[in-house]
Amino acid sequence: MTESFENQWLRRSDAGGVAVQDVPAALGLRKEPTPTNVMETQSLQLWYSGRQVLKGVSVPVVQGKVTAIVGPSGCGKTTLLRSLNRLTDLSRNCRIEGKILLDGEDCMAMDPVALRRRVGMVFQRPNPFPMSIRENVLYGVRAQKRKKARFDEIVEASLRKAVIWDEVKDRLDESALNLSGGQQQRICIARTLAVSPEVVLMDEPAASLDPRSTAKLEESVMAMRGEYTVVAVTHELSQARRISENLVFIYEGHIVEFGETKQLFEDPREEATRDYLSGGLVTSIEEEEAAS
């Protein structure tokens, strides 16, 4: 792992003999928590039935931040996300090479159930269980055998975090299937938050929602900043710009660029990123490949 910026800075100022304690505070650096990578993939490669989908992906997932994954359709965003909590294990034709680390531990060596308890996931299409709203939220809690006494608290807190509490607080015992699609999706977020995972994966969570539901959903993702680490796949660049702090751009199974969202949008290093972020079409890589 690379040394954090703050540490590097501290070391440098040490060498310079400056009064160390005061300087970071004066520069406002202390307010920022030390950025650490909760999760990290190292040259991850993935094949479906012998066809390579991920071709050496290395991305860090920074603690407490929203990382957005963008890229054209079919480039492997969903696949990358699903490999992070080993949902890819469910596909029998899938083979993985490379490393995935969670807090420095090798995910491949972990018990998959234990891994999924720490890395939750919200799917592209709302998939509530055919149960009451309350039972949906408590599903993971019950599955993980957490303490009984605080069930009501957990339900309220998670529904609040998913910005849906006000809409459903009077009908917690109704079937979740009676809700609208947007509400269902927020229930799915609530049920993921209810087990307080270290990392929350979201696969185009707003893909099937209308603008108003999308706004609500974005609101709930923003509310998770700081407290949760979020990795969200999205098709909508404007959404990525609004909700994310870091941005990963994938093209055909390669990471083209990774960095702070703001910086990538304003001044991308790669020409392909510039193409994609400005128009959604990538010409430069294809031209390069055609040339070579």
Ligand X SMILES: Nc1ncnc2c1ncn2[C@@H]1O[C@H](COP(=O)(O)OP(=O)(O)OP(=O)(O)O)[C@@H](O)[C@H]1O
Interface residue list for ligand X (CB under 6 A): 48-49, 53, 73-79, 91, 93
Q: Which stretch binds other proteins (CB under 8 A): 32-40, 175-183, 242-250, 278-286?
A: 175-183
> For residues 31 and 92, which CB has a smaller minimum distance to other proteins in the complex?
92
CB of 59 to ligand X, least distance (A): 14
Instruction: Return the residue matching tokens 């309350």.
Output: 134
CA distance linking residue 70 with residue 233, whole number of Å: 6
In whole angstroms, how close is the CB of 197 to ligand X at the nearest point? 21
Residues in the chain: 292
Piece of the chain touching other proteins by CB under 8 A; list 32-40, 63-71, 139-147, 233-241: 139-147
Which lies closer to ligand X via its Cβ, residue 193 or residue 250? 250
Identify the DSSP state of 176: G
Using CB under 8 A, count the residues that bind other proteins: 32
Distance of closest approach, residue 233 Cβ to ligand X, in angstroms = 6
- Supply the DSSP string of 187-232, one letter for each residue: HHHHHHHTT--SEEEEESTTTT--HHHHHHHHHHHHHHTTTSEEEE
78 binds Mg ion (CB under 5 A): yes
**Enclosing H/E stretch for 97:** strand 94-102
CA angle (20 as vertex; 16, 26 as ends), nearest 5: 115
Based on CB atoms, which residue is closest to Mg ion, 21 or 93?
A: 93
Q: Which of residues 226-245 bind other proteins (CB under 8 A)?
A: none
- Which positions ≥6 away from 188 have C-beta within 8 Å? 122, 123, 126, 127, 128, 136
Minimum CB distance to other proteins, residue 195 (Å): 6
The alpha carbon of residue 151 and the mean position of all alpha carbons in its chain are separated, in whole angstroms, by 26
Quote the CA–CA distance of 208 and 278 in Å, as a whole number: 24
Q: Which does 17 bind (CB under 5 to 8 A by kind): Mg ion, other proteins, ligand X, none?
A: none
Report how far residue 131's alpha carbon sits from residue 256's, in angstroms, rounded to the nearest whole number.
Answer: 42
Residue 53 near which of ligand X, other proteins, Mg ion, none (CB within 5-8 Å, type-dependent): ligand X
- 60, containing H or E segment: strand 60-62
Q: Can you give the binding site for Mg ion, defined by CB under 5 A?
A: 78
Q: Can you give the binding site for other proteins, defined by CB under 8 A?
A: 85, 87, 90, 113-114, 116-117, 120-121, 123, 125-130, 139-140, 142-144, 175, 177, 179-181, 184, 188, 191-192, 195, 208
